Amino acid sequence: MERVPPVAERLIAAARQLSASVSTLRFSPPVSHTYNPLDYAWCAHEAYLRRYGASTRRVLFLGMNPGPFGMVQCGVPFGDVRMVRDWLGIEATVRKPHPENPRRPVEGFACARCEVSGQRLWGLFRERFGTADAFFTEHFVANYCPLAFFDQGRNLTPDKLPAVEAHALRVACDIHLQTLASVLQPQWVIGVGAFAEARATEALTGTTVRTGRILHPSPASPLANRGWAAAATGQLLALGVWD
């Protein structure tokens, strides 16, 4: 069996611990279904960590939580299926979550819907760096929260949860983010959107890690629909993350 680098081993252990921690949490209406891709899509997520988490990284990009046609389907952050399969070179068996939301079925790598946020994010990295290996030399991508929440057919983000439930989730996710920072030793954690930046800034207070943010690539954002790649690149250049 191929030896797993120590950094990847620690990332895999941290992801397993996060999955175990959040699996004990319960969420009240309007949440009708909760998906944990670190459970049913573990094979793909572990493959991502093994392949691209082998050493420390200068920059950690941090998303909010899985999108319904991204990580929910394929277990990789911002994981538009075609990008994950064709550019990252990852494809694995994805099981069904239980209970499955009939209005948001998990089709795994057979999912034909695109995740626009993932297309934009990974598309920018592909345009700038060419290959996934070149991008991951200094960068890594993770999500703050591993869970996806649904109100029947509607996607719910973690910032919409009741305060008590959100607090319990933040405790688990903060611990995981602190572990990521300890293992990857990034100089920068860049929140993809304001929520992720705020959580990183709070969770990593007292460390030497610098935090910043880029515009979220969601099509729900009018700004993102007017040249997201150029806007995000400009923000990273202004911060001094890229040159």
CATH number of the domain that residue 184 is part of: 3.40.470.10
**Interior angle at CA 96, CA 90 and CA 102, nearest 5:** 120
* Residue 217, phi-psi category: left (phi > 0), alpha (psi -120 to 50), beta (remainder): alpha
Count the alpha carbons within 13 Å of 235 in the hemisphere toward its beta carbon.
17
Residue 145's closest CA among 202, 90, 71? 71
Distance, CA of 156 to CA of 148 (rounded, Å): 7
DSSP string computed for 61-130: EEESS--TTTHHHHSSTT--HHHHHHTS---------SS--TTS---GGG--S--HHHHHHHHHHHHHHS
Q: Answer yes or no: is pLDDT of 2 > 90.
A: no
Chain-wide mean pLDDT for the chain? 97
- Return the structure tokens found at 203: 């969770």
Beta bridge partners of 148: 35
In a domain, 210, yes or no: yes
In a domain, 160, yes or no: yes
Distance, CA of 242 to CA of 80 (rounded, Å): 24
Model confidence pLDDT, tens digit, residues 210-237: 999 999 999 999 999 999 999 999 999 9
* Eight-state DSSP code of residue 171: H
Q: Answer yes or no: is pLDDT of 3 > 90.
A: no
* Eight-state DSSP code of residue 192: E
Model confidence pLDDT, tens digit, residues 118-169: 999 999 999 999 999 999 999 999 999 999 999 999 999 999 999 999 999 9
Q: Tally the residues of the chain.
A: 243
In a domain, 55, yes or no: yes
| pLDDT computed for residue 5 by the predictor | 87
In a domain, 196, yes or no: yes
In a domain, 131, yes or no: yes
**Pairing label, strands 139-143, 59-63:** parallel
Model confidence pLDDT, tens digit, residues 172-204: 999 999 999 999 999 999 999 999 999 999 999
Spatial contact of 39 and 15, defined as CB atoms under 8 Å apart: no
| pLDDT computed for residue 77 by the predictor | 98
Residue 193's closest CA among 165, 158, 161, 240? 158
Range of the domain at 234: 6-239
In a domain, 119, yes or no: yes
Please tell me the total count of domains within the chain: 1
In a domain, 1, yes or no: no
190 to 41, 122, 185, 203: CA distances (angstroms): 25, 15, 13, 13
164 to 25, 98, 224: CA distances (angstroms): 11, 24, 32
Is there a cis peptide before residue 30, judged by omega within 30 degrees of 0? yes
Model confidence pLDDT, tens digit, residues 17-31: 999 999 999 999 999
Tally Cβ neighbours within 10 Å of residue 123. Answer: 17
